[in-house]
Amino acid sequence: MTETPSSLRLGIAGLGTVGRGLVRIIEDMADLLSARAGRRIVIRAVSARTRKRDRGIDLSPYAWCDNPVDLAALDDVDAVVELIGGGDGPALALARETLGRGKAFVTANKALIAAHGATLAALAEKNGAPLRFEAAVAGGIPVIKALREGLAGNRVGGLYGILNGTCNYILTRMEEEGLAFDDVLADAQRLGYAEADPTFDIDGIDTAHKTAILAALAFGCAPDMDAVPCEGIRSIAPVDIDYASELGYRIKLLGIARKTAKGLETRVYPAMVPLASPLAQVGGALNAVVIAADPVGQTVYEGFGAGEGPTASAVAADIIDIARGLGGPPLGVPAARLETPVSIPREAHEGRFYMRLRVEDRPGVMADITAGLARAGVSIESLLQRGAALNGGVYVVLTTHMAVEAAVAEALTLFRQLDSVLESPTMIRVEGEPETPA
Amino acid sequence: MTETPSSLRLGIAGLGTVGRGLVRIIEDMADLLSARAGRRIVIRAVSARTRKRDRGIDLSPYAWCDNPVDLAALDDVDAVVELIGGGDGPALALARETLGRGKAFVTANKALIAAHGATLAALAEKNGAPLRFEAAVAGGIPVIKALREGLAGNRVGGLYGILNGTCNYILTRMEEEGLAFDDVLADAQRLGYAEADPTFDIDGIDTAHKTAILAALAFGCAPDMDAVPCEGIRSIAPVDIDYASELGYRIKLLGIARKTAKGLETRVYPAMVPLASPLAQVGGALNAVVIAADPVGQTVYEGFGAGEGPTASAVAADIIDIARGLGGPPLGVPAARLETPVSIPREAHEGRFYMRLRVEDRPGVMADITAGLARAGVSIESLLQRGAALNGGVYVVLTTHMAVEAAVAEALTLFRQLDSVLESPTMIRVEGEPETPA
């Protein structure tokens, strides 16, 4: 082979933590990347909010664009890497401009792909331009590649993911140290594990973005945030973590996507998972995804879901794929063939449930509770009355057999109307493991 | 897009369990595979030892070759799938013939790739023919893709794998039921979890093949079975499993590949891994691989490593990649750029060790043992004398600080010469987790 393939020339938009990590990979591993990709990968231009800031990397060899969208037009840029973030604005403009010109576009932006994944995939396919977003879900874990390529010979039944390291860190510390949510959150913010405004993470929105993307890849549909009802971890109390443990569970914030005979269910909520299940073992800031598919069975993927190194690793993998000429439809099937599945609404969800009620300690209360469950049509699996609650009354803790969420909601409404129930009851869903298709 | 891309036409050699699973995937999921691959995937011809056998699949639509090598020459076959097995013989002949003709070759054959991976990769590259072998390691877990593509922006420091489901099943049952190796093996054979001749599995040869392949992908070298010293699990006794548990470990058969300042170390041996480590959680017939790389950190991949569905899933993924036109060098870097690393010999291995000695219960014995260790230059981490052994004497169990394997071997030789040591001592290596590059 005498020909020397031309370099892949990058424009990078966004020079925060991940951008810096990517520049380091490309500079420090240039020869290794060239061997692996079959051609050199070089940075030609960069864009960020300010040029001056000291990032610990030398930007002088690269052209500078004040406006990131200008990167797409540069003649010596073949592929644009978007690390700006945000579901609209400059990130979206840059994606459209880049793909519209038939150039490759790599992004770590889950909000962008969750909101515009299908239209951007269609644009990419129309223009023969690669579109890749491995870093958008689960950081350094190559789970998008696994779904799109590694498991392409399977029908997926369902997947469960721990997709937000901040939430998993908080839940892990709450369990290990017996601390309240607010205290751990404050400490996590101090240590840099949580943002100053932690809403996106702890209210589950970040996990919902990622879940919508994984569902699209697993089930061949457009990412659809509207189909992902979302609850975060603010309401998780130490007492529920203790009861979970006693019942053989651990509480994790899950992104869930599963296909049943009734349609596609995508959800984000804190759930009790069995202590012996793979997801229960995933502690601290780690991410993990469990996928059940036919015929492969269950596979599990675990690693760090955020941070400079893991995220830059995923972006680099996309770039190397592009340099190698590895293409294929961004969402696993051509955009024109994406299906519109029947979305199972929240209230039609079937599962098992944990409830905790703080009630007056007097005769008849248990009868009221069991009568409420019977009226709602919810069947009890276990029911315990516990010693005095911290703030008066006693706790009643119960788990249900399989029930429809609407029925459980009805039971909770009935409970709230009882004089003997001293505060709004807590409900946490109980999960097993995702199931392969029947 | 008005063009209709041509079908990818397969010839399949070998119609055992995996071949049947593959035929089922291709027939049952034809439309889905076509959507994912961008073209239809069809079987044109098959070959197996006998045509008559009832395999539960209808072979009448497909041409039949008595000699598998003839598949490569068929004009209407674009890609050959080899499921015959064996490191040489017809599998190798078929690989050479297929790649020599510039056609794609997909195999599940670890012995073939471990022995001939580099020369076949060179042949494939010379002829512009894809060569893929995802199913050769860890069955349904897409770990070869993860190493070659998903982690391509990393330097790998090391990897540990549980790569043989039979061994992991046996070790798991020994631990859970307190049974002896021979009893579990006999039962596993009865249940079909172990072959009638289990040598390849339980003596670690199968794991060594897979380790050689993973090492090649991780470190950009040719697979080299001669560089993989290999010990199996025959000598693992229930008492060692019990002591491991007491010391906070679980015994697993590991395939290990790691790069240190001194060179590349590839090994297969049963090792004690910390109970809290990801590999310790992997029970029964599951496989798992833990990879430590920079900058991604540690990632873990888990699933079923054998059987019809998992293996066929991996073969199907390779076929879909080929149909999509995803290429790239089979071993991650071009064959001409594969490096020849310095191989760290077995005796230069540095690690921690567990030893169990059955000794006479009399004064002076502990002094002899500690003197032997001192003479060999091995430093003791913990030393326990235990109650009476089943067959007379008492057990002395010790763990070492970091030591060189040659020194431990010297200590074991000294122990064998002591009159007070009643049987050849047991030694099991103690492992932590693989480390990212410094």
Q: Which of B136, B170, B192 finishes a domain? A: B136
Q: Which of B247, B273, B304 finishes a domain? A: B304
Given pLDDT bands bounded at 50, 70 and 90, which one contains residue A87? very high
pLDDT in tens, B16-33: 999 999 999 999 999 999
pLDDT in tens, A371-430: 999 999 999 999 988 778 878 899 999 999 999 999 999 999 999 999 999 999 999 999
Q: State the CATH number of the domain containing residue B417.
A: 3.30.70.260
Residue B340's H or E segment, with its range, is: none
Beta strands A63-65 and A41-47, pairing class: parallel
Q: Please give the pLDDT value at position B1.
A: 41
Q: Please give the pLDDT value at position A1.
A: 41
- Residue A110 in any domain: the answer is yes
Q: State the CATH number of the domain containing residue A268.
A: 3.30.360.10
Task: Assess whether A196 and A231 both reside in one domain.
Answer: yes
Sheet holding A104-107: strands in order across?
A63-65, A41-47, A8-13, A79-82, A104-107, A131-132
Query: Which residues of A are part of the catalytic machinery?
Result: 210
Going by the DSSP 8-state scheme, the letter that residue A206 receives in this structure is: H
CA-CA distances (angstroms) from residue A290 to A251, A305, B3, B63, B98? 16, 14, 38, 40, 37
- Residue A437 in any domain: the answer is no
From the candidates B145, B210, B252, B259, which is the catalytic residue?
B210
Task: Assess whether A56 and A204 both reside in one domain.
Answer: no
CA-CA distances (angstroms) from residue A416 to A140, A233, A359, A390, B357? 44, 21, 11, 20, 66
Give me the sign of the Cα torsion angle B296, B300, B304, B309: negative
Of B223, B227, B222, B220, residue with least CA distance to B155: B220
pLDDT in tens, B290-338: 999 999 999 999 999 999 999 999 999 999 999 999 888 999 999 999 9
Task: Assess whether B46 and B179 both reside in one domain.
Answer: no
Q: Please give the pLDDT value at position B155.
A: 97
Q: What is the mean pLDDT of residues A220-249?
A: 96
Q: Do the beta carbons of residue B170 and residue B181 sit within 8 Å?
A: yes
- Residue A1 in any domain: the answer is no
- Residue A324 in any domain: the answer is no
In this predicted model, which residue has the larger pLDDT, A326 or A137? Answer: A137
Low-confidence ranges of chain B (pLDDT < 50): 1-2
Task: Assess whether B291 and B230 both reside in one domain.
Answer: yes
Q: Please give the pLDDT value at position B2.
A: 43
Please name the residues between 312 and 341 in chain A that touch chain B, using a CB distance below 8 Å.
312-317, 319-321, 324-329, 332-334, 337
Considering its fold, how many domains does chain B have in total?
3
The CA distance from B219 to the nearest CA of chain A, in Å, is 10
The CA distance from B30 to the nearest CA of chain A, in Å, is 10
Q: Do the beta carbons of residue B211 and residue B163 sit within 8 Å?
A: yes
Q: Please give the pLDDT value at position B37.
A: 95
Average pLDDT, chain A: 95
Q: Judge whether B296 is closer than 8 Å to chain A, CB to CB.
A: yes
User: For residue A73, is pLDDT > 70?
Assistant: yes
Task: Assess whether A54 and A129 both reside in one domain.
Answer: yes
List CB contacts of B187: < 8 A, sequence separation 6 or more. B173
Residue A383's H or E segment, with its range, is: strand A380-388
- Is the CB of B303 less than 8 angstroms away from the CB of A304? no
ipTM of the complex: 0.96
- Residue A337 in any domain: the answer is no
CB < 8 Å to B319, chain A:
153
Task: Assess whether A36 and A173 both reside in one domain.
Answer: no
| Rounded CA separation A341/B66 (Å) | 46
Tokens representing residue A370 in the block: 């069991």
Q: For residue B117, what are the domain limits?
A: 8-136
- Is the CB of A142 less than 8 angstroms away from the CB of B134? no
- Residue A211 in any domain: the answer is yes
Q: Which residue of A has its CA nearest to B436?
A: A309
Task: Assess whether A127 and A150 both reside in one domain.
Answer: no
Cβ atoms within 10 Å of A49's Cβ, excluding its own:
11
Q: Please give the pLDDT value at position A4.
A: 62
pLDDT in tens, A38-65: 999 999 999 999 888 888 899 999 999 9
Q: Which of B244, B272, B304 finishes a domain? A: B304
Q: Please give the pLDDT value at position B21.
A: 96
pLDDT in tens, B376-420: 999 999 998 877 887 889 999 999 999 999 999 999 999 999 999
Q: Please give the pLDDT value at position B52.
A: 83
| Rounded CA separation A399/A403 (Å) | 10
Give me the sign of the Cα torsion angle A172, A176, A178, A184: negative
User: CA angle, B155 as apex, B149 and B156 as ends, to 5°?
Assistant: 85
Task: Assess whether A216 and A265 both reside in one domain.
Answer: yes
Q: Judge whether B152 is closer than 8 Å to chain A, CB to CB.
A: yes
